[in-house]
């Protein structure tokens, strides 16, 4: 009997992706998403902290103006429009920043014993600065749009002007 020739059957080409290729693809997507979100979270912190620094600069400027002109100066807050004015200037908070605080935040930062209820604790939403440069006591709280971050600029009751900046991390105030 003659030997029958074996016919080689060519396998059909594979279509689709293997499980390993899908897992690698998903791992790359997760890694890129994590990097992007962490950078966005850092950006939110930076924007709110920058707004806090600009607010402190407005306090410093207005204090120097009060001393130079020997007249009472004010900083007036407009919570509805997320802005404040001092001297001949008006500053608008960025789209990422608001007057406010994260839910369940305790204050004031120096002695946090009670829930915060006001974003601005200066009397009549105004900071009064005397011709001697003394700033009336109070606090301004800034937060991000999602109300996850809270930063504060405080002026304690004293005969000398002390401004302090704080950030609230996981329910604990930290001086910055």
pLDDT (tens digit per residue) in 47-64: 899 999 999 999 999 999
Least confident of 47-56, 59-68, 146-155, 161-170: 161-170
Residue 58: CB atoms within 10 A of its CB come to 19
Give me the CATH code for the 20-175 domain, please. 3.55.40.10
pLDDT tens, residue by residue, 74-83: 999 999 999 9
Least confident of 5-9, 103-107, 124-128: 5-9
pTM: 0.78
Distances from the Cα of 140 to the Cαs of 52, 81, 120, in angstroms? Answer: 9, 15, 5
Domain boundaries, the chain: 20-175
> What is the C-alpha separation between 101 and 146, in angstroms, rounded?
10
> What is the C-alpha separation between 156 and 146, in angstroms, rounded?
28
Q: Answer for the pair 107, 139: CB distance below 8 angstroms, yes or no.
A: yes
Is the pLDDT confidence value at 1 over 60? Answer: no
At 155 the pLDDT is: 96
């Amino acid at each position: 009997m003659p030997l029958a020739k074996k016919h080689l059957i060519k396998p059909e080409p594979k279509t689709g992706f293997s499980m390993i290729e899908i897992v690698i693809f998903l791992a790359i997507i997760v890694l890129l998403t994590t990097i992007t979100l962490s950078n966005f979270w850092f950006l939110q912190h930076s924007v709110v902290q920058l707004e806090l620094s600009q607010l402190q600069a407005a306090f410093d400027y207005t204090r120097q103006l009060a001393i130079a002109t020997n007249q009472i100066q004010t900083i007036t807050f407009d919570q509805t429009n997320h802005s404040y004015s001092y001297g001949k200037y008006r500053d608008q908070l960025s789209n990422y920043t608001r007057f406010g605080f994260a839910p369940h935040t305790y204050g004031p930062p120096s002695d946090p014993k009670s829930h915060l209820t006001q974003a601005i604790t200066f009397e009549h939403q105004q900071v009064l600065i005397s011709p001697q440069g003394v700033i009336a006591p109070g606090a301004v709280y800034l937060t991000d749009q999602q109300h996850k971050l809270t930063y504060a600029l405080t002026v304690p009751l004293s005969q000398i002007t002390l401004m302090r900046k704080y950030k609230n991390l996981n329910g604990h105030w930290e001086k910055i």
